[in-house]
């Protein structure tokens, strides 16, 4: 069994530029992005999750995820508190905002993700009422 904290840490490294999503996400991964975040909603499967990042990328000149606290619930469930740091491409605004992530795994790879963050701060930085 792989440690869920190590899997989640691997995801953050990948999002920040090192590695491939398939290394830590299952093929049937459920990537649940909150409404109000760009391209929010359920990304069903690894390919859809990859597609999410392909669509998200052009909105930002830079985008980083910083995990600060890892709170294990059990061997296959984890809560992570952290923040996003980004610079938007359209407005050039810098934005830092807190986030909380809920992770589950099947013991080998991550299977589900749900996050919460202040989308109003992000919308302001992107210069939009609600990203599409």
Q: What is the pLDDT of residues 24-59, one digit of tens each?
A: 999 999 999 999 899 999 999 999 999 999 999 999
Domains of the chain in sequence order: 4-126 (3.10.450.50)
pTM of the full structure: 0.93
- The Cα 120–Cα 103 span in angstroms is 24
Dihedral sign computed on CA atoms, order 90, 99, 84, 29: negative
- The Cα 80–Cα 43 span in angstroms is 20
Given pLDDT bands bounded at 50, 70 and 90, which one contains residue 20? very high
């Amino acid at each position: 069994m792989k440690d869920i904290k190590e899997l989640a840490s691997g995801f953050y490294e990948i999002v920040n530029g090192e590695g491939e999503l398939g290394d830590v996400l299952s093929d049937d991964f459920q990537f649940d992005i909150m409404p109000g975040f760009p391209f929010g909603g359920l990304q069903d499967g690894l390919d859809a999750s990859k597609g999410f990042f392909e669509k998200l990328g052009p909105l930002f000149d830079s985008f980083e995820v910083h995990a600060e606290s890892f709170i294990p619930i059990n061997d296959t469930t984890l809560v992570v508190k952290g923040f996003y740091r980004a610079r938007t491409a359209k407005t050039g605004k810098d934005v830092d905002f807190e986030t909380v992530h809920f992770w589950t795994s099947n013991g080998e790879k991550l299977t589900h993700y749900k996050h919460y963050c202040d989308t109003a701060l992000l919308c302001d930085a992107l210069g939009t009422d609600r990203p599409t």
